[in-house]
Structure 1
Amino acid sequence: LYNLVYKLDIHMLKKILPKLFLFCFLYLNTEFVFAQSSSLDEDFLESLPPSVKDELELQNEIKEETDLEQLFQSDTSQKTNKYILEKLKSQLEELENRLDNTNQNENNLTRFGSEIFSSLQSTFTPINVPVVPSEYFLGFGDKLSVSFYGQLSENYELFINRDGTLTVPEFGKISLNNKTLDEARNEIRRLINESAIGVNVELDLIEMREIQVAVLGRAKNPGIYTVSANSNILSILNIAGGISDSGSFRSIALMRDGKLISKYDLYDIFVFGKLPLNMRVRSGDVILVDPVKKLIPVTGGVNLPAIYEIKDGESLQDLLKFAGDLSDSFKGFNYVEVKKYSVDKYQITKVQKDNFNNYIINSRDSVLVPYYQSDPIFLEEVTISGMVNKPGKYFIQDGDTLTDLINKAGGYKEGAYEFGISLFRESALNTEREFAELNYAEAVNYIVSSLGRPGVNIGPQALDFVVEELRSRRSKGRLVMDYDFLAAQQNQALDIELIHGDQIYIPKLERVVYLVGEFHNPANHTFNPSSSIKDYVHASGGMKEDAYENLIVIDPDGSSSLYKTKFFANNDNTIYPGSVIYAPRDIGQLDGISYASAVAPILSSLALSLASLNSISD
């Protein structure tokens, strides 16, 4: 029970307290209940009124047949066939009701109360120590533990006899029929004290007797059930599968010896948590579920939208109470709409709040409670790390910019490299991944289809290389941006607006130029403002023979450009601290495939943007 309550949302707890109360009650009162119908007991049948007896005998006859088709053979009685047809007709009506409810229920509402029986315990195996209510009366079949201590020390486990008496060894018989456990304890003490002095007696009920009860009418599985004598109407209805779609939750009769003992309205329990004290049953009792009359859908600004059953004369106010009253989302409205259906049309009536108690609900009505519920506002956050004074996560609002974030983070630390700022964004990452998947598929398909064609000079090793390079790409989601902190403070148009999930990294200035790829001696060189790309290439031993004729230059901000090594080539590349000069391998000219799709991304640790590589054309 604790685990059940723990899993519930706190704001829903108020709504299900009656159900929780019901669950506890049934759990403590379903000992020795068995969830299946038993064979008919002759004594039990004789105690029933003739009409009820005939119906049960027919139903039992049908249940014992293994093949339904056999019931329509020539040797089947006309009375049995009539009963079968009536039962099939009832089932068809119930199916039609289900279809009608489904078609009319646009909001997928469920009938209130139906989930109660479906959520209760589904097994009813015997419990060793029954919980005995004060109103439980002993009878034939109950097993008692009788313990003596003091001058006499004995313990007996005894059954109450068919005549209602208990035989106590060495002391004789005593009548306990229809006595409570306390009364029985006093009677046994009186019997013992008549012939023994200084003997104390303890009496406990260790096994309850079983009784047979009939569940008839619009229950899901009508029939005769063998249950514990401690059972109540709710626990027995649960064994019978609950109330059918055409049955009433608000009109359930308890019959005894052909007479009406009481009628029960389950809404008293489900809605208001009022559990009647006289719901105990006796052997031979009949629980009769009446047909349902009016089902009214209630949706909108109530705490428990559902389909509710109402009685004649009940008002809109009563219906709203069943639905858990108006919710907070109704605030600001002063009316409820009632949709009244006729055979071929409907009309909507607005009922003012001060008239709820006087407005009577009728069949085919639907209640729509207006409501307003604002969308939840989620806090948005970004992360900044690296060379700022207060790195970490920061909450942002619409319109916050990179400059705002840097100011919140206490500004740059000394040595921060603004030109190398990296901004990673999820939308850019998703775009890169989509492009990479498409590019990979297109490149592989083209290469495979081009093998063996004239003019295509590519061998198996080159193919393996291209496929592996394309497969090993790692998307980063980095945005290439031109950002200047001072300029952005003066002109907001030069700033960069942030969105939820952005990650910003401020690197430290390192006066290094990285040369990677197909160089004889790839290395990291100290940045020299007067050095050109040729100088850095020469310092790395020049390019290998299998290097591609052009270089790729990646700036610290993530942008990239192509550097042509041919004579008289017009290059305007600029080298900065942190620039990368990459010499790709020459894998042969592949017509129709962009060069960027045939080269691997630069070292993942450099956080290069795939988008920047894609911008390079052959």
Structure 2
Amino acid sequence: MRILLITCLVFFSMACQATALEVSVGESLSTTSEENTNATETILSKDSQVFGASIFDGSFSKTTLPSYNPHYIISIGDTVSLRLWGYIELQQEAIVDIHGNIFIPKIGTVNVAGLPNNKLNTVVKNLVRKKYKDNVFVYAFINKSQPVSVFVTGNVKKPGLYQGMSSDSIVQYLDKAAGINPHSGSFRVINVLRNGQVIHSFDLYHFLVSGEVDQFQFRNGDSINVTNKKNSISVSGKVNVPGDFEFTAELIPANTLLQLAQASIKSTGINISDWKTNGKTTINFIPRKEWNHTFIHAGSSVEVVADYQDTKLKLCISGEHTGKNTLILPRDATLNEAFKEIQFTKFSASKSVQIFRKSIAAKQKELLDAKLSELESLVLTSGAATKDEALLRKNETESILEFIRRARQIEPRGLVILPESTNKKSFVLEKEDTLYVPRKSSLVLVNGEVAFPGAHLWNQDKSIKDYLNQSGGLGQRANEEYILLIHPNGSVERCDSSYKRRNMLVSPGDSILVMPQIEVKHLQIARDVTQILYQIAVATGVLLAI
């Protein structure tokens, strides 16, 4: 069984199938609107992200970068680099011994443990000057600090004892513990304990917003404790950074919150959902001009909205025409108004124009995906009576699953079929519609399961059967019930009998598409695959054959 991809010049339409969507101007055009959902469900997303949680992916824990901390306290085991030049020359790496000293040849010992980093050079220089008054220059600095072991506890994903450098940042130690638990841990209050006492607190929002981290020197046995999560507010809608934001206060200025979430400059207001103690929810709209004077309760949800009404629509024009490729029209413009702006050529098939609509394409995609899921379920649950049949079924299943994978990549274009009788004054355009003007043709295209696919000069006396014969006749895998006559405007007719193939009118520019016979044992699977093939072929111009 093989997968054959044949790209054919099939004009886009929607088939009259239960799983396909057909829209004809001859029928009523209706727009299905989604039912109103509970306001709190709209505002709160199940996948809502906690602000800052994404930084803990292991990147910080992998690297330790040396940095200068003027307030670093020199400890036993640290390495001090010494450079002396002038009257005497010396280059040495000295380790701070258990007494807190380093030894300098020809100078003596100097106690450096407990000194801040920015005092080291001065202390060493003063010692050297006691023996050499002039013509000796000194440079001393911390080359390597002693590794320390720090406990990371509280609301982190992997509490434990972690080794690092005393100069490593709080972010690096938290990353070693796989990060803060976003559901229970606080990003605003992270305490460092030494001998049971809190000696420093970190607020990670300083790092998340401005990139600044408090400089702090860790020691052996220190504990980092991530406290319980404080007050939070969920933000969604027209923002660059949606998610849950944490605050230590219970009343938060709206501007502070929306600066963190980076509200869109186009936003016009916010919907605030607040949960009351009586179990009821209130929703209030606050316009943008009032944000400076608005405070939001912790636990609320905020949706940033942009309530603009479009007064214009953009219509894209492609195909056989001259002039503009984009028209800006009134929001309620009709096809008739568009026709007045389009500059047709003598080769334009203006009676066969096509409209591609995004809302229709989305519905087509939804229906196609649903049908593919049904087929996948049927294929995977079909049994076999014998071992030989099971082996055959396995090969069929692999081919059909590959077909399903390819079919899911198909993107319908949402064609609205416009019969010649269309009342252009009553056909209202939609935002981001695309209008395609076909070129007049004197050819008839024959594609699919025929011996020699190709183009033939149109002759008013020839039937579908004649064109098929000119193409070498039907192939061995041709499905005679699914021979399609596709007109330039995208409409499709099935020629499922020899009578139709002899008598159905063929016009210049038409295409004849012969679909393949599905060779599988399971009758329902064969029907479903055929239906999906038909749906894809007429909606996208691509024929996937098994």
Task: Name the TM-score, length of structure 2 as normaliser.
Answer: 0.53
Tell me which residue corresponds to 2:224. 287
Q: Give the match's secondary structure for 1:141.
A: coil
Displacement, 1:330?
A: 5.8
Distance in 1 separating the partners of 2:303 and 2:444: 69
Deviation at 1:131, TM superposition (A): 1.5
Aligned 1:271-350 pairs, distance under 5 A: 275-276=213-214, 279-292=216-229, 294-299=231-236, 304-311=241-248, 314-317=250-253, 321-324=256-259, 327=263, 331=268, 336-341=272-277, 345-348=279-282
Alpha-carbon RMSD across the aligned residues, in angstroms, is 5.8
Q: For residue 393 of structure 1, what is the amino acid of its counterpart?
A: N
Q: Deviations over 1:322-378 (max 9, x none)?
A: 453784566357x84422245xx334375979799797846xx43345634459987
Superposed displacement of residue 382, structure 1: 1.8
Q: Does 1:393 align with 2:325?
A: yes
Gaps of 5+ in 1: 1-102, 435-476, 534-550, 554-561, 564-579, 600-605
Q: How many angstroms apart in 2 are the aligned matches of 1:497 and 1:350?
A: 34
8 A Cα contact 1:302 1:324, kept in partner: no
Relative distance call for 1:596 and 1:123 in structure 2 (3 A) is farther
Question: Which residue in the other structure is 1:367 paired with?
Answer: 301
User: Which structure shows the bigger proportion of residues in strand conformation?
Assistant: 2
Of residues 255, 259, 262, the one that matches 2:200 is 262
Check whether the contact 2:319–2:438 (CA below 8 A) recurs between aligned residues: yes
Give the Cα separation in 2 of the matches to 1:150 and 1:209.
Answer: 31
Distance 1:309 1:107 in 2: 17
Q: Percent identity?
A: 17
| 1:222 and 2:159 aligned | yes
Query: 1:396–1:152: structure 2 CA closer, same or farther, 3 Å change rule?
Result: same
Query: Which of 318, 321, 341 is the aligned partner of 1:383?
Result: 318
**Contact 2:82-2:92 within 8 A present in 1 as well:** yes
The structural deviation recorded for 1:261 is 2.1
> Does the 8 Å contact 2:349/2:438 carry over to 1?
no
- Alignment partners' CA distance in 2, 1:192 and 1:183: 15
Q: 1:583 to 1:497 in 2, by over 3 A?
A: farther
TM-score scaled to structure 1, two decimals? 0.48
Give the corresponding residue for 2:377.
none
Cα distance change on mapping 1:494 and 1:247 into 2, 3 Å? closer
- The verdict on how the C-alpha distance between 1:179 and 1:168 changes in structure 2, with shifts beyond 3 A counting, is same
Give 2:67's aligned residue.
Answer: 131
Residue 202 of structure 1 corresponds to 139
In 2, are the aligned partners of 1:384 and 1:393 still within 8 Å (CA)? no
Structure 2 contact 352–420 (Cα < 8 Å) conserved: no
* Superposition pairs of residues 459-498 of structure 1, within 5 angstroms: none
Superposition deviation, residue 383 in structure 1: 1.9
Where relative contact order (Cα < 8 A, 6+ residues apart) is larger, the structure is: 2
The Cα offsets for residues 285-327 of structure 1, whole Å up to 9 and x where unpaired, read as 2323333454454555776543344446x3142x762453784
Q: By how many angstroms is 1:229 displaced? A: 1.4
Q: 1:266 to 1:323 in 2, by over 3 A?
A: farther
Kept in 1: contact 2:335–2:425 (CA 8 A): no
Equivalent-residue separation in structure 2 for 1:597 and 1:165 (angstroms): 104
With over 3 angstroms needed to count, the CA separation of the structure-2 counterparts of 1:293 and 1:420, relative to structure 1, is closer
**CA offsets, 1:23-58, max 9 Å, x none?**
xxxxxxxxxxxxxxxxxxxxxxxxxxxxxxxxxxxx
Where does residue 188 of structure 1 map in the other structure?
124
* Deviation of 1:199 (Å): 3.3
Residue aligned with 1:610, SS: strand
Return the offset for 1:234: 3.5
Matches within 5 A, 1:492-531: 500-506=433-439
Are 1:424 and 1:502, in contact at CA under 8 Å, matched by a contact in 2? yes
* 8 Å Cα contact 1:339-1:349 kept in structure 2: no
* Correspondence list, 1:584-595, <5 A: 593-595=496-498
Quote the offset at 1:496 in angstroms: 12
Report the secondary structure of 1:324's partner residue: helix
User: Secondary structure of 1:215's partner?
Assistant: strand
**Is the contact made by 2:323 and 2:342 (CA closer than 8 Å) also made in structure 1?**
no
Q: 460, 463, 474: which one pairs with 1:552?
A: 463
Q: Which amino acid aligns with 2:510?
A: L
- Deviation string, structure 1 residues 156-188 (Cα, Å, up to 9, x no partner): 233222222222233322222232444222333
Alignment-mate amino acid for residue 152 of structure 2: V
- After TM superposition, give the deviation of residue 149 of structure 1 in Å: 3.5
Q: Is the 8 A contact 2:58 2:178 kept in 1?
A: no
1:249 lines up with 2:183 in the alignment: no
Q: Take 1:496 and 1:255, find their aligned partners in 2: how far apart are those partners? A: 69
Distance 1:253 1:160, change over 3 A: same
Q: Indicate if the aligned counterparts of 1:301 and 1:371 stay in contact, CA closer than 8 A.
A: yes
Q: Is the 8 A contact 2:272 2:300 kept in 1?
A: no
Q: Does 1:170 align with 2:106?
A: yes
Question: For residues 346 and 195 of structure 1, what CA distance do their matches in structure 2 show?
Answer: 82
Q: Give per-residue Cα distances to partners, 1:214-255, cap 9 Å, x unaligned.
A: 233333333322220112334323322333333333333332
